[in-house]
Amino acid sequence: MDSAPTFDHQALLELAGMRMPFGKYQGWRLIDLPEPYVVWFARQGFPEGKLGDSLRTVYEIKVNGLEFLFDPLR
């Protein structure tokens, strides 16, 4: 029996409010970062800690075509 993936709604809401603290896209919400920028991080290595974990989540959502999950959060 296949089951649908489950999402932690609170974690998704928190992710939607997080902003990039540095660089070219400083101040942008992580969910609004351009995909090539997030892919660059995936290749170079994500930062340590919560920011890295959050960018990794954004990366997984974007590259798997699940960006529609962000639509109601914008």
Domain ranges of the chain: 9-73
Q: What is the pTM of this model?
A: 0.83
pLDDT (0 to 100) of residue 5 = 52
pLDDT digits (tens, 9 = 90+) for 8-58: 778 888 999 999 999 999 999 999 999 999 999 999 999 999 999 999 999
> Quick one: the chain helix, strand, coil %, rounded to 5?
60, 5, 40
Distance CA(26)–CA(70), nearest Å, equals: 19
Q: In 3D, which of 26, 14, 4, 15 has the Cα closest to residue 57?
A: 15
CA distances from 58 to 2, 3, 5 (A): 25, 22, 16
